[in-house]
Amino acid sequence: MSKKNGASTSYKVFSWVILILLALFFLFPLYWIITGALKTPAAINAAKPQWWPSEFTLRNFQVLFSKRSAPLFQFGSVVGPTVPGAIRWLLNTVFMAVMAMILTCITAAMAGYALAKKRFIGRAFLFSLIVAAMALPKQVILIPLIREMSKLHLYDTIWSVIFPTVGWPFGVFLMKQFSEGIPGEMLEAARIDGASEWKTFTTIVYPMVKPGIGALAIFTFINSWNDYFLQLIMLASNVNYTISLGIATMQAENSTDYGLIMAGATLAAIPIIIVFVIFQKYFTKGITMGAVKG
Amino acid sequence: MRQTMSPELRRRETISGYLFLLPSLVFFLGFVVIPMVMCIITSFTDATMNSNQPDVFIGLANYKELWQDPIFLKALRNTIVIVVVSVPVVCIFSLWVASAIFNMSEGPLSFFRVVFYLPVVTGSVAVTVVWKWMYSNYTGIINYVLKNGGIIDKNINWLGDPKYALACIIIILLTTSVGQPIVLYVSALGNVDHSLVEAAEVDGANNTQVFWKIKWAQIMPTTLYILVITTINSFQCFALIQLLTSGGPNHATDTIMYYIYYTAFTRFRFGYGNAMGVVLAIFIAILSAVQFRLAKEK
């Protein structure tokens, strides 16, 4: 090892320098969003940008929260208190991402187990269909989906951005990978003991695929939160917007008030970044497991 | 080993298998397979957004029109430029970063993984609006830095100039595309068979030789997967275009996905848009198949 120390040490220093420069480059947009949100309009519009805000202001957030107002929630005739539009958008987004996550995890865990461990007619065909669908451009399917959603009276409701996420077969594929590891003897033993199929699933399969469900949950949550294209084509009225869609619309309306737009971007990005950093390990696992044999 | 299953057991397995699949199949068939079929069917009609108006079958007319539509051809060209530039750059960049970080200790490794994934998590809208500001003609930091560094002498309207607009978009696309490949490569490099690497080192192979002769072959499946997903993602480049340039100036930055959206929502030509969707899907399918074939030969 020691004979090539000279070359490898200088290469190590070189790669550390490059890595740190790259990290700064990748972090900079986020830094610029957050500091931009706290800058005064004068600082934002100056020809000489301020690397660090010389004066902090909450003006941009005040404007953001005064923009529109909407009821906090609405179930039939039950209408919540009036809040700023951005808060409603945030709540819509959380509801969408959480529902998509729960539904995906339940359906994918069940289907993944069946595909991995059950031997039934049509299994190979179904699995090829799922793999083939995953190789398709997801966004292309969404345009024809609009007419289907309006026939189902789901267009411009929060469900129209939840159901397509649940239907996307990546989760089933991922859970199949995790379920492959369940020993057949354990399932056999449960069957001989006379356990029902459902009981076998909840007491034997579920505990064993739990790490997979964790990975899938965080993966679905983040993807659903950020699926701008789906939200853009399915949601039409302002009260149903997600935070991404709200910010995009605001950007189209006030294209030069960068302070306001950065405040909106902060509101959209910070919650999801916090979730990501906390659950980073599961997320990494989900990405890598989904690629095995992919 | 399961060939000897009794007919009774086989029936039970089939019924329970389908019951477990049912909830997932409802969503998969309803919101993926049916729209896929609808996409193909309506591409042969003059369908509009209005679903109450009957669609008239017009055969291959939409497909014929595509190849005479100058905007579609331009969008196709732009999309191909994006794919041809971004796919190799993403692969090489992420392989380099991954090999530089994969044997670091857990702390720095997590840090770099998070940092390179951050643009993906931040979301396309937040990322795009901040880049729009950074590229802006008068208040953008990029013009300021380049002018002060003596690289340019007057402000450039990056996104408004057909010469630069597409390149600017590709740069943002790259920052949002390398996160997943890096995670995948880090894990693949960590799984490389150590005994082979050690054996080669004993035989006097240097780092470069070890990398190309041993590691490269073992991470090939990962490379292939990354090629396929990066190609699919680059082909679908949409949010950046819609938020930054709306395909302008003068369709210089139209991509197929953006033009599909434009056709369906601004011109309300649903059938025509879906015909483009089918063409895009065929393109991706062919490219994925070619990449698989090439990788298998190696």
Q: Are residues A74 and A207 in the same domain?
A: yes
Q: Are residues A74 and A123 in the same domain?
A: yes
Q: Rounded distance, CA A120 to CA B10, Å?
A: 7
Does any CB of chain A come closer than 8 Å to the CB of residue B284? yes
Q: Are residues A83 and A22 in the same domain?
A: no
* Nearest of B232, B13, B31 to residue A107 by alpha carbon: B31
Give the model confidence (pLDDT) of B245-263 as tens digits: 888 788 888 999 999 999 9
Q: Are residues A52 and A136 in the same domain?
A: no
* Residue A241: Cβ within 10 Å count: 25
A251 to chain B: which residues are within 8 Å by CB? 125, 129, 132, 243
Give the model confidence (pLDDT) of A52-76 as tens digits: 988 888 888 988 888 777 777 777 6
Mean pLDDT value of segment B285-294? 83
* Residue B238: Cβ within 10 Å count: 20
Residue B51 is predicted with a pLDDT of 67
A201 to chain B: which residues are within 8 Å by CB? 20
Contact B21 A126 (CB under 8 A): yes
Ordered DSSP codes for chain B? --TT--HHHHHHHHHHHHHHHHHHHHHHIIIIIHHHHHHHHHTTB--BS-TTSPPPB-TTHHHHHHTT-HHHHHHHHHHHHHHHHHHHHHHHHHHHHHHHHTTS-HHHHHHHHHHHHHHHHH-HHHHHHHHHHHH-TTT-HHHHHHHHTTS-SS---GGG-TTTHHHHHHHHHHHTTSHHHHHHHHHHHHTS-HHHHHHHHHTT--HHHHIIIIIHHHTHHHHHHHHHHHHHHHHT--HHHHHHTTT-STTTT--HHHHHHHHHHTS-BHHHHHHHHHHHHHHHHHHHHHHHHHHHH-
| Token pair 């939409």 in the structure block, residue | B62
B285 to chain A: which residues are within 8 Å by CB? 135-136
Residue B33 is predicted with a pLDDT of 93
| Token pair 């894990």 in the structure block, residue | B187
B187 to chain A: which residues are within 8 Å by CB? 284, 288
Q: Are residues A96 and A167 in the same domain?
A: yes
Q: Are residues A48 and A149 in the same domain?
A: no
Domain boundary among A60, A81, A102: A60
What does the block give as tokens for B273?
A: 């848009």
Q: Rounded distance, CA B142 to CA B128, Å?
A: 15
For residue B32, the distance in angstroms to the closest alpha carbon of chain A comes to 6
Q: Which residues lie closer than 8 Å to B182 by C-beta, 6 or more apart?
A: B94, B97, B98, B101, B112, B113, B116, B117
Count of structural domains within chain A: 2
Q: Rounded distance, CA B72 to CA B269, Å?
A: 14
Task: Return the number of CB contacts < 8 Å for A and B.
Answer: 265
For position A213, which CATH number holds?
Answer: 1.10.3720.10
For residue B249, the distance in angstroms to the closest alpha carbon of chain A comes to 16
Cα A172 from chain centroid? Answer: 17
Does any CB of chain A come closer than 8 Å to the CB of residue B17? yes
Rg for chain B, CA atoms, rounded: 24
Chain A residue with Cα closest to B93:
A22
Does any CB of chain A come closer than 8 Å to the CB of residue B268? no
B175 to chain A: which residues are within 8 Å by CB? 25-26, 29
Q: Are residues A53 and A89 in the same domain?
A: no
For residue A37, which amino acid is it? A
Chain A residue with Cα closest to B136:
A256
* Nearest of B234, B223, B245, B231 to residue B294 by alpha carbon: B223
Give the model confidence (pLDDT) of B31-81 as tens digits: 999 999 999 999 999 888 776 778 888 889 999 999 999 999 999 999 999
Q: Rounded distance, CA A245 to CA B214, Å?
A: 47
* Residue A196: Cβ within 10 Å count: 11
Chain B residue with Cα closest to A49:
B141
Q: Rounded distance, CA B9 to CA B226, Å?
A: 41
Q: Assess whether pLDDT exceeds 80 at residue B272.
A: yes
B39 to chain A: which residues are within 8 Å by CB? 140-141, 143-144
Interface mutation vs chain B, best among A139, A197, A231, A232, most B CBs within 10 Å? A139
Residue B3 is predicted with a pLDDT of 52
Q: Are residues A149 and A225 in the same domain?
A: yes
Phi and psi of A258, rounded to 5°?
Answer: -65, -30
Domain boundary among A26, A42, A60: A60
- Local confidence band at B236 (pLDDT 50, 70, 90 cut-offs): confident
* Residues of the domain holding A11: 2-60
* Residue B207: Cβ within 10 Å count: 14
Residue B123: which of A142, A164, A225 has the nearest Cβ?
A225
Residue A293 is predicted with a pLDDT of 46
Chain B residue with Cα closest to A164:
B31
Q: Are residues A7 and A128 in the same domain?
A: no
Angle at B263 between CA B260 and CA B267, to 5 degrees: 170
Which residue segments constitute the domains of chain B, with CATH numbers given?
Answer: 62-297 (1.10.3720.10)
Q: For chain B, what percent of residues have pLDDT higher than 90?
A: 46
Q: Rounded distance, CA B256 to CA B260, Å?
A: 6
Chain B residue with Cα closest to A110:
B20
Interface mutation vs chain B, best among A40, A143, A234, A267, most B CBs within 10 Å? A143
Report yes or no: A222 and A275 within 8 Å, Cβ to Cβ: yes
Cα→Cα distances A241→A65, A156, B186, B278, Å: 15, 9, 37, 29
Q: Are residues A55 and A74 in the same domain?
A: no
Q: Is the ipTM of this complex over 0.95?
A: no
Give the model confidence (pLDDT) of B182-224 as tens digits: 999 998 888 888 888 888 888 888 878 888 888 888 888 888 8
Residue A261 is predicted with a pLDDT of 92
Contact A140 B281 (CB under 8 A): yes
The parts of chain A modelled with pLDDT lower than 50 are: 1-4, 293-294
Q: For chain B, what percent of residues have pLDDT higher than 70?
A: 97
Q: Are residues A28 and A78 in the same domain?
A: no
Cα A58 from chain centroid? Answer: 28
Contact A137 B13 (CB under 8 A): no
Q: Which residues lie closer than 8 Å to A83 by C-beta, 6 or more apart?
A: A69, A70, A71, A72
Q: Rounded distance, CA B38 to CA B273, Å?
A: 12
Helices and strands (H and E) in chain A: how many: 15, 4
Residue B4 is predicted with a pLDDT of 62
* Nearest of B266, B206, B286, B227 to residue B88 by alpha carbon: B227
Give the model confidence (pLDDT) of B166-193 as tens digits: 999 999 999 999 999 999 999 888 888 8
Q: Are residues A182 and A226 in the same domain?
A: yes
Contact B20 A166 (CB under 8 A): no
Phi and psi of B195, rounded to 5°?
Answer: -65, -35
Q: Which residues lie closer than 8 Å to A35 by C-beta, 6 or more apart?
A: A52, A53
What mean pLDDT, rounded, does chain B reach?
88
Residue B116: which of A26, A164, A197 has the nearest Cβ?
A26
Domain boundary among A35, A60, A85: A60
Does any CB of chain A come closer than 8 Å to the CB of residue B56? no
* Residue B280: Cβ within 10 Å count: 24
